[in-house]
Amino acid sequence: MMDISDHHIGDVGILCPDLHIEVHVKTQSTAKFSEVKAHVLLLLDRHSTILATYKWSEFDDEFLNKNVESVTITDAKGPKLVDLKLHNLCIHTFSLNDERPSTLELEEEEELSAANHWLLPATEFHGVWESLVYEEGIKTQLLDYVSTAIFFSDKNVDSNLISWNRVVLLHGPPGTGKTSLCKGLAQKLSIRLSDRYINSQFVEINSHSLFSKWFSESGKLVTKMFQKIQELIDYKDTLVFVLIDESLTAARSAAQAGTEPSDAIRVVNSVLTQLDQIKRHTNVVILTTSNVTEKIDLAFVDRADIKQYIGPPSINAIFNIYLSCLEELMKRQIIHPIQQLLSLEELETMNFMESNITRLSLNLRSIAQRSIGLSGRALRKIPFLAHALYGKSSSMTLEVFLTAMGLAVEKQRQEQAGLVNSV
Whether residues 239 and 388 share a domain: the answer is no
Phi-psi region of 106 (alpha: psi -120 to 50; beta: other; left: phi over 0): alpha
Domain-embedded: residue 128: yes
* Number of domains present in the structure of the chain: 3
Residue 73 contacts residue 21 (beta carbons within 8 Å)? yes
25 to 33, 95, 121, 126, 131: CA distances (angstroms): 8, 5, 12, 13, 21
Whether residues 292 and 148 share a domain: the answer is yes
Q: What are phi and psi of 387, to 5 degrees?
A: -75, -40
Residue 101 identity (one-letter amino acid) = P
Which of 77, 94, 111 is the endpoint of a domain?
94
Whether residues 321 and 305 share a domain: the answer is no
85 to 16, 43, 56, 213, 408: CA distances (angstroms): 9, 13, 19, 61, 47
Domain-embedded: residue 155: yes
Which of 53, 70, 94 is the endpoint of a domain?
94
Domain-embedded: residue 12: no
Whether residues 157 and 263 share a domain: the answer is yes
Domain-embedded: residue 10: no
DSSP assignment letter at 291: S
Least Cα distance to 306 among 98, 147, 418 occurs for 147
Q: What are phi and psi of 309, to 5 degrees?
A: -80, 130
> b/e for 368-386, b at 16 or more Cβ within 10 A?
bebbeebbbebbbebbebb
Q: Rounded to an integer, what distance in angstroms lies between the CA atom of residue 392 and that of residue 388?
A: 9
Q: What's the confidence (pLDDT) of residue 215?
A: 54
What domain range is 259 assigned to?
102-309
423 residues of the chain, pLDDT tens digit each: 444 444 444 444 456 889 999 999 999 999 999 999 999 999 999 988 998 889 999 999 999 999 999 999 998 777 788 999 899 999 999 999 999 999 877 665 556 677 899 999 999 999 999 999 988 789 999 999 988 988 898 888 988 898 888 889 999 888 899 999 999 999 999 999 999 999 999 999 887 777 665 555 667 778 888 898 999 999 999 999 999 876 676 666 665 665 555 667 777 788 888 888 998 899 999 998 888 766 677 777 888 888 899 999 999 999 999 999 999 999 999 999 999 999 999 999 999 999 999 999 999 999 999 999 999 989 999 999 999 999 878 889 999 999 999 999 999 999 988 776 665
Whether residues 241 and 323 share a domain: the answer is no
Domain-embedded: residue 87: yes
Whether residues 398 and 346 share a domain: the answer is yes
Whether residues 329 and 226 share a domain: the answer is no
Q: Rounded to an integer, what distance in angstroms lies between the CA atom of residue 117 and that of residue 183?
A: 12
Whether residues 191 and 250 share a domain: the answer is yes
Q: What's the confidence (pLDDT) of residue 12?
A: 45
- Indicate the SS3 state at residue 361: helix
Whether residues 370 and 241 share a domain: the answer is no
Whether residues 136 and 226 share a domain: the answer is yes
Which of 263, 287, 309 is the endpoint of a domain?
309
CATH of the domain at 249: 3.40.50.300
Whether residues 329 and 200 share a domain: the answer is no
Whether residues 230 and 149 share a domain: the answer is yes
Neighbouring-strand partners of residue 204? 116, 243
Domain-embedded: residue 383: yes
Domain-embedded: residue 8: no
Residues 6 or more apart from 74 whose CB is under 8 A from it? Answer: 20, 21, 22, 53
Q: What are phi and psi of 84, to 5 degrees?
A: -60, -30
Residue 40: count other Cβ atoms within 10 Å of its Cβ: 21
Domain-embedded: residue 333: yes
